[in-house]
Chain A
């Protein structure tokens, strides 16, 4: 019980610290503008690509599929990058990682807490992106038809999954130099290909498709799309044979496996970093 309270306190303090670092460099208005422009631009790249080729056929199901997948994928970059970046930031920028290590803090809990700010900013970005789609791009979401309980449960499980994946990257970040600070975003960019975020997995060559089926993010995005726009999502047969409950079951199962693996991997990386004296490494090219 006492340990649980300690973990909670580490998490809460790390989340507060992360929020301060993330937001107090400017005034709230500018911070909000900065937080919104990036994801809107990212979505706009896809919108322009789509519009150039289809002549602006935004009512096609593929557009809704692509737009929603891309919007929720913001969480992937935000949470994974938030956790792995905290290592680089604390180690090389603030040079406080060694002090965190000697403090009575659970390091994985601390790192996950540090990503809360990015998660919150990501949430605003997701909401703004979807709102933009609803207002200007004929995105067809009938709010009365949305399966809200399943959506919220799916979203929550997915965020836990992403945090566990981020922990693996944080472990890797302990072992590498500063110039790969973008590890979280880089891996998120790579997984974009294998997650069915912006195109159905069926488009991938058969020899690559299995990576998508092994990727838990695929099931997470599919579940979120199903709960929001069920009929449109069913237009793509890749995962049509799975019901929403089965999707949730797979997602929960994969999250548990990923959680166990990530804790072991993080501990291994942490051990290696301590042995090689990398906890207070500073690199700059």
Chain B
């Protein structure tokens, strides 16, 4: 009996890249499977945000805005899903994990924290892309948005780079949040509306003036949205902040910067958190 038990339950050990990829998959898994188990997201994550987006659409219609602004709002509304996901399911996730006792398990397991963050990012990104796509499709259909895509390849590239940079930022800030306690929740809460404003989620960011838009470009969604609007709407280029090529280049740089910073910061913060005994603290 003992022999059978041993032969059937022996786990094949992984190491190196195999372990890294398995960890990524393992952390992404609950995010994806959670969608299947808790289908209420269809209502809460698609229908409710769509209502909020619609309110802004009707504001533009009330004040007689050109129709492309309706499209801008739909795109912006869809992208809020990514920002919320990065804020709440990346940056402050480690705080929740700490509060629930998982963080210590992540640290003592023989895997890479970077892989865990990447798994969270990929799982969150895939799940959020579904929500964002639903908002774009439904919003576009409801408000008869006229998309005129000038280059699908560039549009896809901008979206991809925007996501890599954004989730890189999320991974970087997650490591900073390792040191935080209850303030993590409040910081994430604070970073919602001000970023919607500064990044131009509901209007072209160019209208905020060059320097404000330039500073706001540190949030990858600012340039990603601006470039996507330029590529997806006929009048987009006239309302754009920078040229699409330049925005692609900056997004590329931001992606490298944030991912590299996430790697180094995570190592540093993990050591600091261990030294200061903050991995298991719970200041309530």
A residues bordering B, Cβ < 8 Å? 25-26, 34, 37-39, 41-42, 44-46, 48-54, 62, 66, 93-94, 176-177, 179-180, 182-183, 186-187, 189-193, 197-200, 203-204, 282-285
Contacts and interface: CB of A to CB of B under 8 A. Distances in A.
Nearest to B40: A176
B59 A189 contact: no
Contacts of B31: 285
A34 B190 contact: yes
Interface string B16-59: 00000000000000110010001011001101110110111011
Interface in B88-135: 89, 96-97, 99-100, 102, 123
Nearest to B32: A285
Given A41-B194, A190-B47, A48 B100 contact: no
Contacts of B4: none
B194 A37 contact: yes
B281 interface: no
B1 interface: no
A200 to B, nearest CB: 7
Given A34-B190, A42-B193, A179-B38, A186 B59 contact: no
Contact of B99 (A26, A38, A93, A193): A93
A204 B202 CA distance: 19
B48 A190 contact: yes
Interface of B: 30-31, 34, 38, 40-41, 44-45, 47-49, 51-52, 54-56, 58-65, 69, 84, 89, 96-97, 99-100, 102, 123, 181-183, 186, 189-190, 192-194, 196-197, 201-204, 207-208, 284
Given A25-B186, A192-B51, A49 B34 contact: no
Contacts, number: 127
Contact of B48 (A52, A53, A93, A187): A187
A284 B186 CA distance: 19
In order of increasing CB-CB distance, the 9 nearest A-B pairs are A190-B51, A189-B52, A285-B34, A41-B193, A186-B48, A199-B62, A41-B194, A193-B55, A25-B182
A176 B1 CA distance: 43
Given A41-B193, A48-B208, A282 B100 contact: yes
Given A38-B190, A38-B193, A283-B38, 6 more contacts: A25-B182, A26-B186, A39-B193, A179-B38, A199-B61, A285-B31
A189 B77 CA distance: 12
A26 to B, nearest CB: 6
A177 B41 CA distance: 10
A118 B147 CA distance: 41
Given A41-B196, A179-B38, A189-B51, A53 B44 contact: no
Contact of B183 (A25, A41, A54, A285): A25
A192 B69 contact: no
Contacts of A190: 47-48, 51-52
B182 A203 contact: no
